[in-house]
A and B are shown apart, each in its own frame.
Chain A
Amino acid sequence: MEQEVAIVDAVQTRHGSALKENIREIMFSTVRQLLNRVGIEKSEIGTMVSSSSDYWQGISCSNSYYYDAAGANLKSGSKAAEDSALGFHYGAMRILSGHYKTVLVTSITKCSEAPPVDTLTHLATDPFFQRPVGLNETISTALQAKAYLHRFELNEEDLAGVPIKNLANAQNNPNAHRKGVLSLDDVLASPTMASPLREIDVPNTSDGACAILLATKEVAKDLTKRPVFVQGLGWNVSETFLGDRDLLNGSLPKAAKMAYKMANIEKPLDDIDVAEICDTTSFNEILWTEQLGFCAPGKGTDLLKDGITSMGGALPVNPSGGLFGANPYVARGLIRIAEIALQLKGEGEKRQVPDAKRGLAHSVHGLGGQLHSVVVLGV
């Protein structure tokens, strides 16, 4: 892909555990802020692709509720449901088609108004086989983590560094609402949620929104001094049933392969300067770094322990604090992309990775990491 699509700018909310404004108000103020920053009017926006979830919003056809608030009244628009990174892919395809010069990509989730993750992800299971046994996201991940620790002869302590790193990173992110300094003892003292996962391993949910303006290369250069180019796009889904898959080798390597091929990346660890990964649990950050090809299978804990994924390391992962800092479920994928755009624009302030030229944003939803998305951005 010849850098035909660029991010002009991105805006996020100050995420929180319970934002006061309603969904329409948050969507409106986020998009307004983005348009003000770029210095254009909504009449100049070609089309809008949003991402939300009916179950997580408690409103069916969830995009109908905020469509006009997102600046799309009397415009063309669509929705890529459940994971906002997929909305980003769709927005990019609308530009690549030649039909539009600018695309607004938006996403919002107010988890404070929704039931708990495990209630909703339990409702995502099929009604015949998986639902009767009580499967949900946490239990699926615990099964996956058990298999991982068993296959590579590791123990729970090997996973403990992730919340410590990410909550420390979140201290540098003004949009994060969970942050702090943890010790290894703090992590190991956390009560078990679903063995081997402890409560502290599973990031709580948040309220938050994100909006990104995409444009053709030419238009982006007119609108910003620092366009960030879309170099690679990849997404991929696994089989429905956990038992039909190798839980430690799913669809992520395939999504990464697609994106890396487009971006001409052969050695991800060398070729990528910064990554934002959906750390759905402590364990998952480690598994996802392996499946993204940053290291060999089973070596993700070494990557963490050697400080390679820490700030100052060769490939910092989640300078924003990741989902440990804020986890507005459906919006989190777009936020990962916005964070990488920020890094590549050199606007990361206290969380800036020096000289970041190319970055990767990852997102995932579905039990055991069923549908993964990879976006490679560069300047």
Chain B
Amino acid sequence: MTQAVAIIGTGQTECGKRDDVSYPELIHEAVRRAFEASGLEAEDIEAVVSGSMPPAMEGVANPHLYWVDAMGAANKPLIRTATCGSTGMSLAHTCFYHVASGLFDLVMVIGAEKMYEGDPQGTMATVADPFFQRPFLAGAPGIFSLQSNEWAHRYGLEEKRVRMAAAQLSVRNHNDALLNPYAHIKVKTTVEDVLASRVIAYPVRMLDVCPGSDGACALIMASEKMVKKLGIKTPAWVRGIGYCGEEAFFGEGDKVVWQSAINAAKGAYKQAGISNPRKELDVAEVYNPFTFQEMLFYECFGFCDFGKACELVEQEVVMKGGDLPCDPSGGTLCTNPIGATGLQRTAEIVLQVTKKAGERQIPGAKTGLAHAMGGLDQFNGVMIISNTLQ
């Protein structure tokens, strides 16, 4: 049995250093808001899905069992999904399959992270295998700066031009985050500020890189018959999903013409019947922990030809008012509670296509793409969401 799936409620917490709440309290904040947005209560939910980054991030080995009461999950089926940085998108997919399978009609999914409680870069270094990669891996920026340099080198892109495009994306994200009540980093910045900020791992500078945040995000998904039964007026329909993983070792795959990113998008486009994403998508939330990497995704997702992503920035295609505005939420660049991040991308697209995005609303947005990436440049997941079922 297979059935169509809609997202009927989103709940996000304010993100940042949330030392005003415990981990379960943070979860509850997102859950409560998802209930308020959908008019449902915990008793209505048939099953729950939850996840986060490696539990070593917060130091509790089974976070899903720790969060049970905060999620209202007691006496319900519960599965923990965790796939590194792509956790949020994998969570959305796990929840999708619960409903699409026909086993459930109303399922809640929660992703969260409380990164100020641990040592995020230390934890992320333990994602690498203990024999070959871990001895020289310095947290996340190392991997992504290698990828950025490889990309610029492959296409012979001039250093000055790449840095300028990245700086423009940084400014765009920081400006957008000012309009997002849930965003973490809220600072007004300029291209000159970005270009002058200190180097973290060349070419990535301080204002090219995301923070680690405390935050949680919850979504409620429903079957078509449940949408009708509940009389939901503005459902956001899941039109396509795609996910792809690749080799464990960073050096074994091409990270520029990046097959897992290409496959994830292709799979989702095929299900959604999208042949020209640049034209058919109205908005995209591209997972952008690093400004440079966002441009690489534009190419892998077919927004432009390979090697041409800088043009999308220069011609303001991906800016507000352009053909395909990206990351109106301010993106991962400004808010990154990792286990929730992919769900936040999804929630933002839901809000955009249902015209609930407030000050940051993209006019006329009907169909959007949400994305997350994880592992040592290993996993990519995509979801296409639309305000219509067909």
Contacts and interface: CB of A to CB of B under 8 A. Distances in A.
B22 interface: yes
A96 B102 contact: yes
B100 interface: yes
A85 B129 CA distance: 26
Contacts of B55: 54-55
A237 B245 contact: no
Interface string A52-90: 011100111101111111001111111111100010011
Given A59-B129, A64-B127, A371-B65, A76 B243 contact: yes
B373 to A, nearest CB: 12
B42 interface: no
A124 B65 contact: yes
A345 to B, nearest CB: 25
A124 B259 contact: no
Interface in B58-83: 59-62, 64-69, 73-83
Contact of A235 (B77, B82, B378): B77
A39 interface: no
A123 B61 contact: yes
B248 A67 contact: yes
Contact of B60 (A78, A82, A92, A124): A124
A77 B54 contact: no
Given A76-B243, A80-B80, A80-B81, A90 B97 contact: yes
A126 interface: yes
A300 B143 CA distance: 55
A55 B56 contact: yes
A79 B79 CA distance: 10
Given A60-B126, A123-B59, A79 B83 contact: yes
A332 interface: no
Contact of B375 (A64, A120, A128, A255): A64
A65 B248 contact: yes
Contact of A81 (B56, B80, B375): B80
A240 B100 contact: no
Interface string B129-161: 110000000000000000000000000000000
A132 interface: no
Given A78-B83, A79-B83, A67 B378 contact: yes
A78 to B, nearest CB: 5
Contact of A93 (B103, B123, B124, B374): B103
B346 interface: no
A177 interface: no
B53 A61 contact: yes
Contacts of A128: 22
Contacts of A94: 97, 101
B100 A74 contact: no
Interface residues of B, number: 64
Interface centre among A237, A244, A365 (most CB of B within 10 A): A237
Give the one of A77, A82, A123, A254 with max B CB within 10 A. A82
A105 to B, nearest CB: 13
B81 A24 contact: no
A248 to B, nearest CB: 16
Interface string A112-135: 000000001101111110000000
A75 to B, nearest CB: 7
B180 interface: no
A98 B1 CA distance: 7
Contact of B378 (A54, A64, A126, A366): A64
B62 A82 contact: yes
A251 interface: yes
Given A74-B260, A77-B245, A240 B56 contact: no
Given A78-B81, A365-B62, A97 B246 contact: no
A49 to B, nearest CB: 9
Contacts of B259: 74
A225 interface: no
A99 interface: yes
Interface residues of A, number: 64
B311 to A, nearest CB: 29
Contact of A55 (B61, B65, B102, B129): B61
Contacts of A166: none
B72 to A, nearest CB: 11
B36 interface: no
A238 interface: yes
A83 B290 CA distance: 34
A239 B67 CA distance: 9
Nearest to B124: A60
Contacts of A79: 81-83, 90
B38 interface: no
A78 B101 contact: no
A324 to B, nearest CB: 24
B68 A54 contact: no
A232 B255 CA distance: 42
A244 B77 CA distance: 18
B248 A370 contact: no
B51 interface: yes
B84 interface: yes
A273 B376 CA distance: 46
A151 to B, nearest CB: 21
B87 to A, nearest CB: 8
Interface in A269-301: none
Nearest to A97: B100
A127 B103 contact: no
B263 A239 contact: no
B242 interface: yes
A97 B2 contact: yes
B98 interface: yes
B61 A78 contact: no
A251 B130 CA distance: 37
Given A61-B84, A74-B263, A237-B76, A99 B100 contact: yes
A337 interface: no
A80 B130 contact: no
A89 B79 contact: yes
B93 interface: yes
Contacts of B53: 60-61
B247 interface: yes
B379 interface: yes
Contacts of B66: 124, 126, 240
11 contacts: A69-B248, A74-B246, A78-B93, A79-B81, A80-B80, A90-B94, A237-B64, A237-B73, A255-B77, A365-B65, A370-B65
Given A54-B55, A60-B53, 7 more contacts: A61-B53, A65-B129, A68-B245, A74-B260, A80-B79, A99-B100, A124-B61
